[in-house]
Amino acid sequence: MFRTALVVAALIVPALCQSGERISGENSYVLNEERFHFDTGTYWRQDNDGSFSVTEGPIDPGYVRCLGAGFGGASESTGGGLCIFGEGKDTFTWRWEVHFGAPNTWTVVGATGKYLGMQGQGIAKSQIGSEFFAMAHRITEWEGEITLPKQP
């Protein structure tokens, strides 16, 4: 009986989800960050509102809010936070982590509405540019793979 249940589950579960799809895009926002300096480094925290665009993948562009905090120094940076994409009933949330000397990583931790059941992970690279803006502006390019449940 147990073996039959496993076989049935193995056949049903893949049918509920589409295979993973590649996604890529970028977040863009005015940098809203505080820094607290001390003798061996800096503590930072941020709360950035902006928009995101999609280069590739089955998600719609829109509003994004990213929050986070961490420590930085000459030889190490640690930290993380989350980004909430979309507004209203159709949103998805990523948890992100800082990796010193490497791209940040992100993992889907929740979703609502048409994104309900989203799973996935990827990498992100941020840069701060101010050449064309009156205030410091952060651009985060991201890519990865997500799986969305099939819509009824």
Domain membership flag for residue 108: yes
Let me know if residue 49 belongs to a domain.
yes
DSSP-assigned letters across all residues of 85-96: ES-TT--EEEEE
**Given the DSSP bridges, would you call strands 77-85 and 102-111 parallel, antiparallel or unpaired?**
unpaired
The mean predicted confidence, pLDDT, of the chain is: 85
CATH number at residue 134: 2.40.350.10
Label residue 100 by pLDDT band (50, 70, 90): confident
**Domains held by the chain: number:** 1
Does residue 61 or residue 131 have the better pLDDT? 61
Whether residue 11 is contained in a domain is answered as no
Kindly state whether residue 59 falls inside one of the protein's structural domains: yes
SS3 69: strand
Residue 7 lies in a domain: no
Domain that holds residue 103: 19-147
**pTM (2 decimals)?**
0.81
Residue 14 pLDDT exceeds 70: no
> What pLDDT, on the 0 to 100 scale, is given for residue 7?
38
Collect all residues with Cβ–Cβ distance below 8 Å to 71 and sequence separation of at least 6: 41, 42, 43, 44, 77, 78, 79
pLDDT at site 128 = 66
Q: What is the mean pLDDT of residues 108-128?
A: 94
* 141 assigned to some structural domain: yes
The per-residue pLDDT for range 45-97, each reduced to its tens digit, is 999 999 999 999 999 999 999 999 999 888 888 999 999 999 999 999 999 99
Let me know: does 24 contact 142? Beta carbons within 8 Å: yes
